[in-house]
Amino acid sequence: MNSCVFRPARLDDASAIAELFRKSYASATDSDIAYPYPQLLSPPGVRALMSRANVLWRVAEGPQGVVGSFGSVFSCQPPFVNVAEPFGLVVDARARRQGVGARLFQEILEALKATGARVILSDTRTREAGGIAIVRAAGFEPVGFVPWGHRTPGGMEAMLYCAWVLPKKDAPRRDEIVLPPRALALRRCFEANRSFAFSGEPGLVSLPLPTPVEPHEMIPPSIIRVRGMESVEATVSLIQTMQGRSGFSQPLVHLIGIGGLAKAADRFVEVAFVATARGNNVGGLVASFDCLDGRIRVLEAASLGTSVTTALLSKIEEWRDSRGMSGVHPPTLVLDVRADEVTLLTELERRGYIPTTLHPRLLMETHADGPKCIDVFRYELLASVPSAIPDSVRVWPEACAIAKCVIETCQDLSLASTIDAAHESDRE
C-alpha cells in the first residue's frame, strides 16, 4: 500500500475502474457477469455515474495504474437529509490484503462526514469476508440481511446491510411508534445484538440461481393498470404530486441512485400501476423487475390510503404470477416503508411480507417543534423462505447471527398468529 496514492477519481480512470469490476465479478468463462449495477462494468456507465453531482469517488493508484476504487452517492434532499450510500469497493486481486480497501473506505467515509453525513449505509457481501471486516472496523452496525442479494456466477449471494448513524441525537426519533409484531421483533433483536462479533472463515453460499427471463417476456403492453392509461413517466408525476399526502410509502431508490441508473440496462423492466376511484387517481406505483435476479423492487409508491397501496401490490403479485414467475426462484418483491406507516406495515405482515432490514433514522422531516427522524423498514415477500434459508446462512457467524434475527422474526408462528389476531380485531 505504501506505493499507492489515494485520490479523487477522474473521468479518464473509467476504463481501469470498469476493468477492476469485470475482473472481480466475472465467472471463469467471462460470459456471466451479473453484478447488480451493470453501469459499473462499462467505461461510459462509470463516467456517467462519476459525473453526477451527488457522487463522490476515490481510487488507489499504484505504479501500474488504478488498483482500487470506491464511490458513494449522497443526498441532502428531504426526507433523505444527509444520507449516503457507498458502493462498489473493489481492489485488484494482486493488491489485496495490504490495507488498500480499508484506506479507500476511510477516505470515502471522511469525505462523506465532511459533507455532513448523518446516516451512511453499506450493502456488504457474505461470500467475501473482506468487505464486512472493513465496514465493521469502521464502526458500522448490522441493520439487515438480504437472503438473495446478488446473483453471482457461483450462486445467489446473501448480503448484509450495515449502517453508520451519527451518534449525536441531533434530531430525536418521532414519538414512539407502535410497530406491528414482526417489525418490533426485528428492532428489538437488532438493539439486543449491537455487538455481533465477527470471527471465523466464510462458508459457501449456494442458493439456487434463478432462471433468467428474457426482458421481452416481461414487458407489459405498455402499462399494467388498475384503471387508466398512464405511462411510467405519468405515474411517476402522479406519485410526486401525492407525496406528503397520507398513506404513501417512500422507497430508498432516490438515494440509491446507482439503482436508478441501472434502470437503463436491458435486464431491468419497469412497470407502472395506477389506481383510480370514481374517475380520480388515488394511487400509483412503479416497480422494476430484474430479469436476471427475478427480483421486483418497488421504486415509487404513493396512494391516498393503505387499502389502495395494498391493492396496487396485489396487482404486481398478480402480474408476476401471470408471467409464470413461480418458476423463477426465488421470486421476491421488495419495498421500503416508513416506520410510521403502521397500518401498511401491519397489512404487509399479515400478507406474509418479512421485514429484512431496519434503517434507523433514515428520514428527516421538519415539524413544528423541530426536525424529527423516522426509521424505514425494508419488507420482502420471499416465496420460499423455509427451504432456502438454511443454505443462505451457511456463511460465517456474524452473517448467521444477523440472518437469524431476520429468519426467526419471519418464521415465528406465534408472531404470525398475533398478526392475524390484530387484523381480525381491526376488522371488527
- To ligand COA, the closest distance from the beta carbon of 31 in angstroms equals 19
From the CB of 390, what's the least distance to ligand COA, in Å?
A: 23
Beta carbon of residue 62, minimum distance to ligand COA (angstroms, whole number) = 12
Those residues whose C-beta lies under 8 Å from the C-beta of residue 168, and which sit 6 or more positions away, are: none
Residue among 308, 391, 292, 388 nearest 343 (CA): 308
Residues that bind ligand COA (CB under 6 A): 24, 89-91, 96-102, 124-125, 128-131, 133-134
Of 103 and 315, nearer to ligand COA (C-beta) is 103
Residue 89 or 337 with smaller CB distance to ligand COA: 89
- Find where cell 439486543 sits: 192
Q: How far is the CB of 225 from ligand COA (least distance, A)?
A: 39
Contact 138, 105 (CB under 8 A): yes
* Residue with smaller CB distance to ligand COA, 101 or 284: 101
Choose between 93 and 219: whose C-beta lies nearer to ligand COA: 93
Query: Which is closer to ligand COA, CB of 3 or CB of 246?
Result: 3
Strands (E), 128-186: 141-152, 155-165
Q: What's the min distance (Å) between Cβ of 30 and ligand COA?
A: 16
Instruction: Provide the residue type at 141 as one letter.
Output: E
Q: Hey, what's the torsion of the CAs at 53, 39, 256, 293, to 10 degrees?
A: 170
Identify the three-state secondary structure at position 266: coil
Distances (CA, A) of 8 to 70, 71, 85: 10, 10, 17
Q: Read off φ and ψ for residue 59, nearest 5 degrees.
A: -130, 160
Nearer CB in complex with ligand COA: 99/220: 99
CA atoms of 312 and 285, how far apart (whole Å): 7
